[in-house]
């Protein structure tokens, strides 16, 4: 078997195993991965045993190790920048939408409040207004009005919160990546 054939076989087996694991998760059948994963490993190892050319070439090992290290460096740097930028949407006041509340006395003596959302970092005004809502009678505010108000405020910040969540996820993934790298580094450092 040629090396290319072996790589194609490994790819097909990996795809089939991934599909089976995915299907089993969706179907709730947890017996399939237990059988599919070891079976996939056995098939790949059997294919590897039939490869008639060199697999573990030292030059390729060195190329891969350098490529992996460079990839790690690029991913960590770009990922850290992206994580900080995205998370700053949660922390930063200028990047958050401006929400104002104005109290009005109605003709019948009741109080109403107009809550308005303006573009982040802008001066509140008609040009920068995104949306607004009014609570007709503050003193007669019921549960539905309160929920509407809460949802309104939450929606205003949801985009920033989602970005912050994405930033936090990237940050955690980077830390996990670095921890894995550190663990392997210590392992090989002790081994050699």
Partner 1 sequence: MKNRIRVLRAEHEMTQEQLAELVGVTRNTIISMEKNKYCPSLKLGYRIAHVFGVGIDDVFTYEESVDGPSADEE
Please report, as ranges, the residues that interact with partner 1 according to CB under 8 A. Answer: 53-54, 57-60, 62
Residue whose C-alpha is closest to residue 115's, from 95, 94, 96, 129: 129
Q: Which CB, 27 or 56, lies closer to partner 1?
A: 56
Q: How far is the CB of 78 from partner 1 (least distance, A)?
A: 21
Q: How far is CA 76 from CA 63, 89, 150, 170, 186, in A?
A: 20, 20, 38, 10, 19
Q: Which is nearer to partner 1, 48 or 119 (CB)?
A: 48
Residue 33 φ/ψ, nearest 5 degrees: -60, -35
Nearer to partner 1 by C-beta: 55 or 147?
Answer: 55
What are the structure tokens assigned to 50, written together? 């039939």
Sign of the C-alpha dihedral computed for residues 109, 115, 118 and 123 taken in this order? positive
| Cβ at position 58, least distance to partner 1 in Å | 6
The least CB distance from residue 52 to partner 1, in Å, is 10
Nearer to partner 1, 61 or 154 (CB): 61
User: Is the CB of 29 or the CB of 65 nearer to partner 1?
Assistant: 65
Yes or no: say if 8 and 47 are a contact pair by the CB < 8 Å rule.
no
3-class DSSP state of 114: strand
| Shortest distance, position 56 Cβ to partner 1, whole Å | 8
Nearer to partner 1, 63 or 140 (CB): 63
Using CA atoms, how far apart are residues 40 and 15, in angstroms rounded to an integer?
Answer: 10
| Cβ at position 44, least distance to partner 1 in Å | 20
Min dist. Cβ of residue 184 to partner 1 (A): 18
Classified as helix, coil or strand, 102 is strand
Length of the chain: 192
């Amino acid at each position: 078997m040629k090396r290319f054939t072996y790589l194609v076989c490994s790819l097909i087996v990996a795809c089939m195993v991934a599909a089976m694991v995915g299907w089993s998760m969706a179907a709730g059948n947890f017996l399939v991965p237990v059988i599919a994963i070891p079976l996939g490993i056995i098939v790949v190892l059997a294919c590897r045993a039939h490869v008639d050319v060199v697999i573990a070439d030292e030059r390729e090992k060195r190329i891969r190790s350098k490529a992996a290290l460079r990839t790690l460096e690029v991913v960590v740097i770009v990922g850290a920048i992206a994580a900080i930028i995205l998370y700053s949407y949660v922390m930063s006041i200028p990047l958050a939408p401006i929400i104002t509340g104005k109290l009005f006395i109605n003709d019948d003596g009741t109080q109403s409040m107009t809550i308005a959302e303006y573009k982040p970092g802008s001066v509140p005004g008609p040009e920068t207004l995104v949306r607004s809502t009014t609570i007709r009678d503050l003193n007669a505010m019921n549960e539905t009005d309160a929920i509407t108000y809460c949802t309104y405020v939450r929606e205003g910040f949801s985009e920033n919160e989602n970005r912050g969540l994405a930033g936090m996820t990237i940050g955690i993934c980077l830390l996990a990546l670095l921890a894995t790298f550190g663990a392997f580094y210590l392992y090989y450092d002790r081994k050699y």
